[in-house]
Amino acid sequence: MQVLLASPRGFCAGVEMAVEALQRALERFGPPLYVFHEIVHNTHVVQRFRERGAIFVDDVREVPEGACLLYSAHGVAPTVRDIAAERRLRTIDATCPLVAKVHREAVRYVRAGYQIVLIGHAGHDEVTGTMGEAPHATVLVESADDVDRLDLNGRKVAYLTQTTLSLDATHRVIARLEERVPGVVGPPREDICYATQNRQEAMRTLAREATIAVVLGSRHSSNSRRLAELAAEAGLPTHLIDGVSELDTTWFTPSDTVLITAGASVPESVVDECVECLRARFDATVEEHALREERVVFPLPRELR
């Protein structure tokens, strides 16, 4: 068996920053420390912090008045910040800077009188936060077919995108929007983050050499699901798993070439455990294939510097 280990994989700069922010906050302020939504969409990371005293909430009103609250990497709507202020919460903002950029673009477009079309997945924490910047001027679409159903009433239109989408699917939606709305405008650079693009590019390239794919990531992780979809579209039997406990050796044959990658919120230790399992069971050889080198680093929230 051969294992092709995709690189880049795992933690992106936004996740690194958010995870370190929560670690520092627990060290400085001690438990219990409240976090609005999961810090990142990964069960291993969330459980590790629960054990250290982090309490994850989906409603700011669950946080005791005057307590410390950290905003997750996915960003929050202005109404959340308002409620936090009313409850005199000490807040730490660990929003990924690339998500914060989309929020700023939403504010800029709505002030300029645009109807905003947000391309993303309904219910995702990032989408909820972005739509909260201009809820009465923002409409969500998930597919090109959704664009056909829009009633834009002749208004000038701008589009924004969730940062963790499939590049190909997003381009299809944008193309349909440009057909329907001549003159539609978008951000100066695509909002899909560099890490998402790099991991998808590595998947597309290495899928040509593999016979089966394993994507490490939680099922509620948008970018992990996109990687699994790309592998399946390439014709590979594909398994999206949280970790080695879900790895079933009956999926494989000794002659397989196994492509392994990980979503942007997956710790490297989870990857290592799966690789070691295949080494032990199939005497697999492992080759790391690095298509890009990532050197992006985001500063800690100002409240922790």
Q: Which residues are catalytic?
A: 126
* Residues 107, 114: Cα–Cα separation, whole Å: 10
> From the DSSP assignment, how many helices (H) and strands (E) are in the chain?
10, 12
195 within 8 A of 12, measured Cβ to Cβ: yes
Could you tell me the strand order of the sheet in which 68-71 lies?
54-57, 33-36, 68-71, 90-93
* Residues 122, 16: Cα–Cα separation, whole Å: 25
Which residues, 6+ apart, have CB-to-CB distance to 248 below 8 Å? 239
Give the three-class secondary structure for 102.
helix
* Residues 209, 211: Cα–Cα separation, whole Å: 7
The number of beta carbons lying within 10 Å of the beta carbon of residue 253 is 10
Among 50, 33, 34, 52, CA closest to 42: 50
Beta bridge partners of 67: none
CA distances from 127 to 257, 264, 276 (A): 36, 17, 37
Residue with tokens 């005057």: 66
* Residues 171, 176: Cα–Cα separation, whole Å: 9
